[in-house]
Amino acid sequence: MVFESLSGVVLALLLATALYSFGSILRRMFLHPLSGYPGPWLGKFTDIPGMAPVIQRRRTQSNHELLRRYGSCVRLGTNHLLFCARESIVDIYGQSSSPCLKDGALYGGLSVSGAVNLLNAVDREQHARLRRLASHSFSMQSLLKSEALIQEKVDEYVSVFKDGNSRVNILERTYMLMLDIVSQFSFGESLDCLNGRNAQAPADVKAFFTVIPPLSFAPFLRYLPIKSIQEGRKGVFRLDSFSRDCVASYLSRQEKHRGDVAKSKLFLERMANAVDAETGTSMTQVELVENATIFLVAGVGTTAATILYLIWECGQQHDVRRKLIEEMRREFPDPSIAPTYEKASKLKFLSYVVDETLRLRGPLNGGAPRISPGKTIAGRWVPKGVKVETNIYTTARDPEVFPSPDQFEPSRWETATPEMRQMSRPFSYGPRNCIGRHLAEVIILLTISRLYQLYDVIPDASLTPDKMQQLDLGVLEPGCDEFFVEVVPQSNLLSC
């Protein structure tokens, strides 16, 4: 008797659950404000179409395929819209009195110490204050005062090709170059990876992306014996300690030698001395540590991947590489004098090559999710709370703006139209665009011009297009484990 009534209750509960689930599926499919938007069938009542490719590390490419299939606006999940229009770039990322703010669920956890930083700040005022305090450090004028530091590191990077080293793996080395430069700027002290002092640092920065996003979604993971999580946590901890030590040692030096330090040009020093005119505040020690570290996280993988893809793409096309080398040799004929930014930034073909690399291989060309405040985006009303993003990977491959969009053709930038610039936005757009853009540009130009001034660089035959596919690990990076190049010194080049 008891069993009979119990099974009746269980049955009733199961039935109620099934009816409720069925009802909410029908509601999401037919009554939800996004029900009229095209998209994959599963996305009408689940978030699976958006989640599965994240695990496969091809989120950006999968979103691109969906946009190609369903049109310029796709319902990716129950409450999530993907766009690929010029207008949606402006409407989602542009300056506005009703802005689409960053998605706190995604960005909130992107922190080393748990504090708010420039990249993860969601609140508009909080972000604006940090941006005002940091932006001075990133001005071109300020960066160029430290140009010699970058040239020195670039020379250390290319020094490996001397002494008859004609076949070299530059994968790790390129990340090390970025770490050495960005850490020097961020902490006033280089990690010195290239000379072997902190050889594990590239792995520590990579660990940030392996560990921090999953931990912010599922904090209990930190207690589980998962090797990648535990090793990654140690790496992030090392990074955090390095940053804390540098900031503490800088602040104590500042106390002793206030005058000397104030003259200095590096980020940490500038940020520590900056006073926000609007709030009258400066960065606290915790904010200094957090932001200096986040520059490593945001700046190293992105810039290194761009340099590696530039070398790869030029390696695939003899004519392109030859033109680039000719320009370098013409403008920088004396190998004992390293190229300067002033001169390199005026070289046309070099700039086309960089623009084309960033169009096709931009490391952050995947969409950056924002939350709609309730506004019209690309001509469609998007209710408050809906997650929205524009896939720059797709806008930068619009065949009407970029004929043969999948081809690496630097010369297309010879006649760049305003529309090309509006559709290829590797550094994003609006108040949350890349604050490190100038630094990235200086590093890329100085590295590439020095490299091709001295050598011809040819990717090894072992490096296939398949291995060079972009893996979406938050940053779009080459999927290869090694990147061997063959180098021919300038003096041995017969025809260039």
Q: H/E element holding 366? A: none
Q: Give min distance, CB of 297 to ligand HEM, in A.
A: 8
Q: Smallest distance, Å, CB 112 to ligand HEM?
A: 13
Q: How far is the CB of 430 from ligand HEM (least distance, A)?
A: 9
Residues 407-436 that bind ligand HEM (CB under 6 A): 426-428, 432, 434-436
Given the rule CB under 6 A, which of 26-34, 214-222, 293-301, 334-342 is the region that contacts ligand HEM?
293-301
DSSP 191: -
Answer yes or no whether residue 362 interacts with ligand HEM by CB under 6 A. yes
Distances (CA, A) of 295 to 59, 121, 183, 196, 303: 24, 14, 8, 21, 12
Binding to ligand HEM (CB under 6 A): which residues in 184-203? none
| # residues near ligand HEM by CB under 6 A | 24
Listed residue (338, 380, 396) closest to 67, CA to CA? 396
Which of positions 86-145 make contact with ligand HEM (CB under 6 A)? 118-119, 131
Q: Is 182 in the site for ligand HEM (CB under 6 A)?
A: yes
Cα distances (Å, whole numbers) of residue 358 to 92, 97, 181, 425: 21, 30, 21, 8
Nearest distance from C-beta of residue 330 to ligand HEM, angstroms: 26
Scan residues 294-333 and list those touching ligand HEM (CB under 6 A): 294-295, 298-299, 302-303, 306
Q: Which span sits near ligand HEM by CB under 6 A: 13-21, 48-56, 332-340, 363-371?
A: 363-371
Residue 348 has a CB neighbour count (10 Å cut-off) of 11
Q: Are 205 and 300 in contact (CB under 8 A)?
A: yes
Nearest to ligand HEM of 45, 107 (CB atom): 107
User: What is the C-alpha separation between 88 and 377, in angstroms, rounded?
Assistant: 6
Rounded to whole angstroms, the Cα distance separating 116 from 139 reads 22
Q: List the one residue from 247, 440, 458, 463 that touches ligand HEM (CB under 6 A).
A: 440
Q: Which two tokens stand for residue 451?
A: 């490299």
As measured in angstroms, the least distance from the Cβ of 496 to ligand HEM is 27
| Residue 425 backbone phi and psi in degrees, to 5 | -125, 65
Residue 429 to residue 283: CA distance in whole angstroms: 25
72 lies in the binding site for ligand HEM (CB under 6 A): no
What does the DSSP assignment read for 195-238?
A: TTTTTTHHHHHHHHHHHHHHHHH-GGGGGS--HHHHHHHHHHHH
Check binding of 473 to ligand HEM (CB under 6 A). no
Per-residue burial over 160-198, b if 16 or more Cβ lie within 10 Å, else e, is: ebeeeeeebebbbbbbbbbbbbbbbbbbbebbbbbeeeb
The CB-of-425 to ligand HEM minimum distance in angstroms stands at: 7
77 forms part of the interface with ligand HEM (CB under 6 A): no
Residue 368 touches ligand HEM, criterion: CB under 6 A: yes
Complex with ligand HEM: residue 300 or 468, whichever CB lies closer: 300
Residue 265 interacting with ligand HEM (CB under 6 A):
no
- The footprint of ligand HEM (CB under 6 A) covers 118-119, 131, 182, 294-295, 298-299, 302-303, 306, 362-364, 368, 426-428, 432, 434-436, 439-440
